[in-house]
Chain A
Amino acid sequence: MASVLSGAMRLWDVAGTVTISASGLELTHTDAAIQDLTPLRIVPRAPHGWLVLRGPETLGVHAGVLGLLRQLREELAPHAQRGRLIIGAQSLR
């Protein structure tokens, strides 16, 4: 998960680091455009899923990495380009 999060930050051009802590992962960033520089904590949630916390505040609860990355991009890189999967009408065959 740490490598996925640090890779996502690079993809979004967010300067920062991901460190592994006792309770999960901690994301620190130095993007001056983001007002709140309090690190985000990503904590595993039983039986599966993730919590996103900033300080004592819970920002989000996610069943998987899809929703987690979506929220992290909104928190850390709200201006990063976002796409949408489109399945065309034509089959390959």
Chain B
Amino acid sequence: MSALPVSVITGFLGSGKTTLLSRLLRDPAFERTAVIINEFGAVGLDHLLVESSDEQILMLEGGCVCCTVRGDLVRTAGDLLARRASGTVTPFERIVIETTGLADPAPIVHALMTDRDIADALRLESVIATVDAANGAATLDAHPQSVKQAALADCLVVTKTDIADPAANGLAERLQALNPAAPKLTAVHGVMDATRLFQGAYDRARYDPALYETPPHRHGGINTFCLRREKPLHAATLSLFLQLVAEHCGAKLLRLKGLIDVVECPGQPAVIHGVQHVFHPPAWLDAWPNDDRSTRIVVISQGLDAQWLQDLLELIDDEVNACSIS
């Protein structure tokens, strides 16, 4: 049985998550979607606003999914899968998790990637963050959690563009600098081409070199930069580098995505993708997307030093080279 895709919709309070989800479920292409909604507060309301079959909407109440109900999330997803297998719910083809506006998506992504009860059955498809065009810039200034939501997303959806222009108020530029590789889509009252939301982390277009040419950016404690290397890296270098970064950078590393030219696999770049210290197994492309064959590693972090990471990468590769030669 192939793994079911699961996506996470995150975004700050009032940024349009529920509206987007509600419209999404009205799209015939997505009618076979099961939804898990997490609400922060004693009484959940969002599920009443989402138009779908009740049996396929599950509530997680009593806390924020990222900190207090992570186990519940895993159990709920497991229950959904069991009910699907037993035929007690309409067969669904996708799960969408809507987080609270205050949630840090990283622990949710970690649970989906690593929990052994569900990781074989579910495939993390995409992390989608909504950002309000009218209030988004102020929210990014005032709430670090919203910066993290935008930084961790695979896809950013700017909402309420009918009442504010994200290009005019600087939000568009800010999001581009914060998360250059994430496509930026717009939605008015939740209306958009929903198929573009679910292209997932694995998508060649995400590795378009132009996305990585953004200058180093720092705002609100979050900095984004790209490590580049013209010479191929040994596979061992990559493994040691990731191990070292995970060990020492901890929660300061928000996201790392890369396209790596590996000595042992010429012509077939490796795609690496991690959220904090949790990484997907590398995927291998059949060929380079274009003529640019340099290694590019995009880092979104809370204050990590780009030059330090670049020096570290070079030092490790020198060591691996020396071991290979001696």
Instruction: Please tell me which stretch of A15-23, A27-35, A80-88 contacts chain B, meaning at least 4 of its Cβ atoms lie within 8 angstroms of it.
Output: A80-88
Query: What's the nearest-Cβ distance from chain B to residue A27, in Å?
Result: 16
- B283: chain A residues within 8 A (beta carbon): 91-93
Across the interface, name the chain B residue whose C-beta is closest to A8.
B248
Check if B142 is an interface residue, CB within 8 A of chain A. Answer: no
Chain B interface extent, by class: 35 or more
Q: Which of A7, A10, A66, A83 contacts B277 (CB 8 A)?
A: A83
B 23-62 binary contact with A (CB < 8 Å = 1; else 0): 0000000000000000000000000000000000000000
Contact status A65-B280, CB under 8 Å: no
Check if B79 is an interface residue, CB within 8 A of chain A. Answer: no
User: What is the CA–CA distance of A93 and B283 in the complex, to the nearest angstrom?
Assistant: 7
B 52-87 binary contact with A (CB < 8 Å = 1; else 0): 000000000000000000000000000000000000
Contact A86:B319 (CB < 8 A) given known A4-B308, A65-B312, A66-B244? no
Contact status A85-B247, CB under 8 Å: yes
Check if A73 is an interface residue, CB within 8 A of chain B. Answer: yes
Check if B243 is an interface residue, CB within 8 A of chain A. Answer: yes
Contact status B311-A3, CB under 8 Å: yes
Across the interface, name the chain A residue whose C-beta is closest to B113.
A88
User: What is the CA–CA distance of A64 and B249 in the complex, to the nearest angstrom?
Assistant: 18
Across the interface, name the chain B residue whose C-beta is closest to A6.
B308
Check if A11 is an interface residue, CB within 8 A of chain B. Answer: yes
Which of A4-56 touch B at CB < 8 Å? 4, 7-8, 10-12, 47-48
Which of B169-217 touch A at CB < 8 Å? 200-202
Query: What's the nearest-Cβ distance from chain A to residue B318, in Å?
Result: 9
Check if A61 is an interface residue, CB within 8 A of chain B. Answer: no
Contact A11:B249 (CB < 8 A) given known A88-B114, A88-B119, A88-B281? yes
Contact A86:B316 (CB < 8 A) given known A47-B326, A70-B247, A93-B283? no
Contact status B250-A81, CB under 8 Å: yes
- B246: chain A residues within 8 A (beta carbon): 83-86
Contact A86:B248 (CB < 8 A) given known A64-B319, A92-B280? no
Check if B163 is an interface residue, CB within 8 A of chain A. Answer: no
Contact status B311-A7, CB under 8 Å: yes
Query: What's the nearest-Cβ distance from chain B to residue A38, in Å?
Result: 24
User: What is the CA–CA distance of A63 and B240 in the complex, to the nearest angstrom?
Assistant: 12
Contact status B247-A89, CB under 8 Å: no
Contact status A92-B119, CB under 8 Å: no
- B250: chain A residues within 8 A (beta carbon): 81-83
Contact status B312-A4, CB under 8 Å: yes
- B240: chain A residues within 8 A (beta carbon): 64-66
- B281: chain A residues within 8 A (beta carbon): 87-88, 90-92
User: What is the CA–CA distance of A7 and B303 in the complex, to the nearest angstrom?
Assistant: 12
User: What is the CA–CA distance of A82 and B232 in the complex, to the nearest angstrom?
Assistant: 29
User: What is the CA–CA distance of A74 and B242 in the complex, to the nearest angstrom?
Assistant: 19
Contact status A81-B251, CB under 8 Å: yes
Contact status B280-A91, CB under 8 Å: yes
Contact status B124-A90, CB under 8 Å: yes
Contact status B278-A88, CB under 8 Å: yes
Check if B120 is an interface residue, CB within 8 A of chain A. Answer: yes
Check if A1 is an interface residue, CB within 8 A of chain B. Answer: yes
Contact status A88-B279, CB under 8 Å: yes
Of the A-B pairs whose beta carbons lie under 8 Å apart in the complex, a sample of 16, sorted by A's number, is: A10-B305, A11-B252, A11-B305, A64-B240, A66-B240, A69-B248, A80-B248, A83-B250, A87-B278, A88-B279, A89-B120, A90-B119, A90-B122, A90-B123, A90-B124, A92-B271
5 A-B pairs with least C-beta separation: A7-B308, A88-B113, A85-B246, A89-B119, A92-B202
Given A3-B308, A84-B247, A87-B278, 20 other A-B contacts at CB below 8 A?
A1-B315, A7-B308, A10-B305, A10-B308, A11-B304, A11-B308, A64-B319, A66-B316, A69-B247, A80-B248, A82-B248, A82-B250, A83-B246, A84-B246, A85-B242, A85-B246, A85-B247, A88-B279, A90-B281, A92-B281
